[in-house]
Amino acid sequence: MYPVLRNLLFRLPPEQAHNVALKSLDVAQKTGMLNLFTRHPDPCPVTVMGLEFPNPVGLAAGLDKNADHLDALGALGFGFIEVGTVTPLAQPGNPKPRMFRLPEHEAIINRMGFNNEGLEHLIGNVENRRYKGILGINVGKNKDTPNEESESDYRKGIAAVYRYADYITVNVSSPNTPGLRDLQFGDSLKQLLHAIKDEQTRCHQSQGRYVPIVVKIAPDMDDDGVRFVAAALLEAGLDGVIATNTTISREAVKGHQHEQEAGGLSGAPVRESSVRVIAGLYAELGDRIPIIGVGGITDAESAAEKIRAGAKLVQIYTGFIYKGPKLIGDAVEAVRKARPA
């Protein structure tokens, strides 16, 4: 069924198709139709960051920025779902068009720009959800917040979502908020990570509940950059790292009509760089800090290689758009076979 639905959706502009697909999922879930077209993978439990995941394949942030569709997405068989990125204040994001398909490459370019309805809206949706699975909430800074004041936005985000999240992701790697990626390097990263840890400690003490915090990084850093990030994560005592976000490189899509579009490239072209970063992180971190692998998972093998490179969990997004819910089960089985005995 999904290839037929995808062909219909791909006749619409990408962002419109995205919204139509999610609203259709909501209807299918509420009417019970979703169960007729989806098959949940067999359990493949894994414990990471003290959390028991029913399976190691999650949905990456960005698909459901506001947690508007949490119940429907949660019914598809994911082992966990990450919503966001959410910023303290609502913001419209970048001007449209801001999303472009590259079907020949199983890829998407987006420059959405953290468009979201803000913390209050997302929290309201999370409070009213029926989905009972593991929920990650991805937080970022507002576009108008200067980098030197970004710590305040991240603290606000962590404090607001702490009681509702099973884990929290700090996004410092989107290419679509000017200057954001600068926070991944040097003293800026160290200062931010220590502030994040301080806010986590404060929330833990006040609420009596420990919520793991992970940092999402880009695929474009060199080996020295990867080693620096690994050392900074260990020094600050963060709980995990997501590798990776979208890439600004166009090497893999040269000659495509959308090659010159600004934004982050996701999907199959990110596969190799994501695995390189995961392997580099694992070489430095070992099993001390778990890695969540994301980027270019479009089939079973691309999920398995993330695990072989050192990831404990994986997430899908662009591959899910191209392949549909079947990719979840395929990825679970591949990861099951690839995990160390």
Q: How many CB atoms lie within 10 A of CB 208?
A: 7
Quote the CA–CA distance of 305 and 246 in Å, as a whole number. Answer: 18
Between strands 99-102 and 107-110, the pairing is: antiparallel
Are residues 212 and 170 in contact, defined by beta-carbon separation less than 8 angstroms?
no
Are residues 313 and 292 in contact, defined by beta-carbon separation less than 8 angstroms?
yes
Phi, psi at residue 39, to the nearest 5°?
Answer: -125, 120
Q: Is the peptide bond before 269 cis (omega within 30 degrees of 0)?
A: no
Catalytic option among 174, 273, 274, 302 = 174
Q: Is the peptide bond before 97 cis (omega within 30 degrees of 0)?
A: yes
Cα-trace Rg, the chain: 18
174 belongs to the catalytic site: yes
Token pair in block for residue 225 = 């950059």
Token pair in block for residue 310 = 């050192």
Q: Which residues contact 287 (CB under 8 A, 6 or more apart)?
A: none
Q: How far is CA 246 from the centre of its chain?
A: 10
Of the candidates 305, 159, 138, 304, the one whose C-alpha atom is nearest the C-alpha of residue 215 is 138
With left for phi above 0 and alpha for psi between -120 and 50, is residue 50 left, alpha or beta? Answer: left
- Residues taking part in catalysis: 174
